[in-house]
Structure 1
Amino acid sequence: MKAISIRTFGDPEGMALINVPEPLPAAGQVLIEVETIGVGGVDAVIRRGTLGGYGFSEGFVPGSEVAGRVVAAGDGVDPSWIGRLVWAFTGTGGGYAERAVARLEDVTVLPEGLSPIDAVALGGAGPVAHFALAHGRFDAGESLLIRGAAGSIGIMAVQLAALGGAGTIAVTTASPERGDRLRELGATAVLNRAGKSAGKSAGEDHGEGASAPAAEFDVILDIVGGHATASFIDRLADNGRMVAVGVVAGLPPADFGKALLGTFQRSRSFATFSLNTVATGGRNRIRSEQFAAAARKDLQAVVHAVLPLDGAADAHRRMDAGEVFGRVVLTV
């Protein structure tokens, strides 16, 4: 079968379409004829070779979420699963392929009215956004800042916060055009990447935004990371909570915690969040609820582009260039 392999870590050009053996479902697994693949930020981090500690090696097939039909079942799996249209988490890799295996506990049936394209735009990001907000103890009426809101996690967090009755939903993004799209999804304030009021371009401040004191927030969801992390800690209100859910710009500097200790009396806090710490049943329940909400049009899947499987390198180039709003989806 065809699959995308990381021949060399680094630039997107290190990925290639190759022939690999078809996987076989082990006990408790299903084999899925892949129709769509969600291209996520973690895929780019793995491809760059900057995610240490997981033992990735050259030849690795990336991709962690797919949608398609179950075509075979391993031992212990009810054969009635065969033929069902599902979303699946494939683990840390294996998804950029014509067929993929997944544990049955990591499979969610798609409701009528939800396409496989929308499923991979929502299936991974939606539960992350939900549980990250819960991890930050976000409550109705509170103010929220989402740093890096143009990706699939940020877009879901905007919508969920709006549905949850947020007092203010501020977002950082790269352009006024993206800000307008995020306002349509529920954002109430748009900031540039530095966290300042966005003017006519992402690098400008105008009017009151340039001179007024910077707003503070009860909760900050940080999907970006990188060297500017400490400056956003300084945007927390008293008892404010910052939750890091991604490091697409790299790890924060080693001394970023000084921003917390320097304002000890304000009881600010910083936490990390990974969906790995949520019980499988809990994340599956939320995913099913979000799929049903999307089928009813209560939640919106935002897809930047749909590309063929051999367009994976192009998808990664677009992510590296910061062009993507929502999620790029590969089709097989």
Structure 2
Amino acid sequence: MKTIQVDEHGDANVLKLAEVEIPKPQAGQALVKIHYAGVNFIDVAMRRGWYPNPPIPTPFTPGVEGAGEVIAIADDVTEVKVGDRVSFMQEEEPGLDRAYAEYIPIAAWKLIPLPDAISFETAAAMTAQGLTTQYMMNEFVNLQPGKSILIHAAAGGMGLNLVQWAKHLGAFAIGTTSNATKAQRVLELGADAVIDYTQEDFVQRVKALTNGKGADLIIDGVGKTTFAGDLEAVATRGHIVTYGITGGIPDDINPFDLLYRSRTVHGADLFDYIANREERIMRANAVWDAIAAGWLKPQISQVFALEETIAAHRLIEDRNNMGKILLKM
């Protein structure tokens, strides 16, 4: 089978196409024929050696997310059967098989059943980012009319999902983007205001849009270039959720400083919110239901062949995508 391997940490050129034998499922595992894999910035961070800490030893295959069909199961597996359509998330731990491959052996409890109406393409686009959106919109602040949210990188795959979910809940949604084209897309999906951070100070703009109060909730997957401003832009008793480092690792802060205006900072990792099968399926079903209801519309930026993985990584690193990037097997 074809797979992508990283033999050393580095830039996108370390992504190498390889041919290996199709694996067999071990105890507790199912073998999934992958149709699509999602490309996420966590894949870039793993490739660079930024995340996790310590970095995953090389060689390894990237890709935490995919969708496909179960083609074999171990004798002890009860969660799925051959022929089931599924999506999955795979942790960042060393030694695990991952999604940039034509097949993956994976613990059967991690597999998420797909309704007939959810295609493999949609599932690969909406498993990681959909489940992340679901818990971020429900676990930190009771978003409702009268509450405000600031969403950084609002034109990316995560950002466009967050904007739609926040508006469904009735919140006042503010997004940041880097140009007018991206801003228009974010507005089309329901944002109340968009800030071009290359032209405006987002802190001052957020305060102006909220009558000086600041945002009740800030969702930040950027990191270094935004986090210091978040601390100023957040409302008294407001919450900042940091879940990514597309702009680099933020500078350290003194936790004592958070006492001023009673600000709260949350670190957020999806795998901590899907640590068992029940929670994983509950969150996924909420996403599938939202898509079926029509108020959450998957946003796919571009689909690459597995052989084009380097180009896919360069696109997400340059932050030129509007929506999700996929690999098609």
TM-score, scaled relative to structure 2: 0.89
1:189–1:58: structure 2 CA closer, same or farther, 3 Å change rule?
Answer: same
Task: Give the AA of the match of 1:135.
Answer: E
Which residues in structure 2 correspond to 1:172-251 (within 5 Å)?
172-193=176-197, 202-203=198-199, 216-251=214-249
Which residue of 1 is the match for residue 126 of structure 2?
A: 122
- Could you tell which deviates more after superposition, 274-283 or 9-18? 274-283
Q: For residues 68 and 231 of structure 1, do their structure 2 counterparts lie closer, same or farther at Cα, with a shift above 3 Å needed?
A: same
Specify whether residues 112 and 50 from structure 1 end up closer, same or farther in structure 2 by C-alpha distance, changes over 3 A only.
same
Q: Distance in 2 between matches of 1:134 and 1:211?
A: 24
Specify whether residues 211 and 53 from structure 1 end up closer, same or farther in structure 2 by C-alpha distance, changes over 3 A only: closer
- For structure 1, which runs of at least 5 residues remain unmatched after alignment? 194-201
| DSSP 3-state at the match of 2:138 | helix
Please tell me whether the aligned partners of residues 207 and 233 of structure 2 are also in contact (alpha carbons under 8 angstroms): no
What's the counterpart of residue 85 of structure 2?
A: 85
Q: 1:137 to 1:211 in 2, by over 3 A?
A: closer
Q: What letter matches 1:70 in structure 2?
A: V
Paired residue type of 2:158: I
* Structure 2: distance between partners of 1:210 and 1:300: 26
* Contact 1:136-1:242 at 8 Å conserved across structures: no
| Residue type at the aligned position of 1:317 | R
SS of the residue corresponding to residue 153 of structure 1 reads: helix
Q: 1:290/1:209 Cα in 2 relative to 1: closer, same or farther (>3 Å)?
A: closer
Measured after TM superposition, the shift of residue 53 of structure 1 is 2.3
Q: Distance in 2 between matches of 1:176 and 1:16?
A: 36
Provide the rounded CA distance (Å) in 2 between the counterparts of 1:60 and 1:95.
Answer: 11
Q: 1:120 to 1:171 in 2, by over 3 A?
A: same
Give me the whole-angstrom Cα distance separating, in 1, the residues matched to 2:174 and 2:195: 7
Aligned residue identity for 1:108: I
Q: Kindly indicate whether the alpha-carbon contact (under 8 Å) linking 1:230 and 1:259 is maintained by their aligned counterparts in 2.
A: no
Separation of aligned partners in 2, 1:247 and 1:259: 22
- In structure 2, how many angstroms separate the alpha carbons of the residues matched to 1:288 and 1:87? 12
Match of 2:300 in 1: 303
**Residues 63-87 of structure 1: per-residue CA shift (max 9 Å, x gap):** 0111111000013224961012111
Map of 1:32 onto structure 2:
32
- Residue equivalent to 2:265: 270
The 5-angstrom pairing of residues 52-67 of structure 1 reads: 52-67=52-67
CA contact (8 A) 2:151 2:174 kept: yes
The CA deviation at 1:178 is 1.0
How far the C-alpha of 1:215 sits from its partner, in A, is 6.2
Q: Deviations over 1:277-327 (max 9, x none)?
A: 224212321212312332443311111101101111100011111111111
Q: Aligned to 2:303, what secondary structure does the other structure show?
A: strand
* 1:54 Cα offset (Å): 4.6
What percentage of aligned pairs have identical amino acids? 30
Name 2:68's counterpart in structure 1. 68
State the partner residue of 1:107: 111
Distance 2:226 2:254 in 1: 9
Aligned residues between the structures: 318
Alignment check: 8 A CA contact 1:91 1:102 kept = no
For 2:61, give the aligned amino acid. V
State which drifts further: 292-301 or 223-232: 292-301
Cα 1:75–1:268 change in 2 (3 A) is same
Deviations 1:193-244 (A, max 9, x none): 3xxxxxxxx4357xx9699587611111111111431111110111111111
Shift of 1:175: 1.2
The AA in structure 1 aligned to 2:37 is I
Q: Is 1:162 the equivalent of 2:160?
A: no
1:256-294 per-residue CA deviation (whole Å, 9 max, x = no partner) reads: 657535xx1x21111111122224212321212312332
Deviation at 1:172, TM superposition (A): 0.8
Give TM-score, length-normalised by structure 1: 0.89
Amino acid at match of 1:15: L
| SS of residue paired to 2:178 | coil
| 1:149 equivalent in alignment to 2:154 | yes
Separation (CA, whole Å) in 1 of partners of 2:118 and 2:140: 30
* Residue 12, structure 1, aligned to residue 12, structure 2: yes
Q: Structure 1 residues 268 and 255, CA, compared in 2 at 3 Å: closer, same or farther?
A: closer
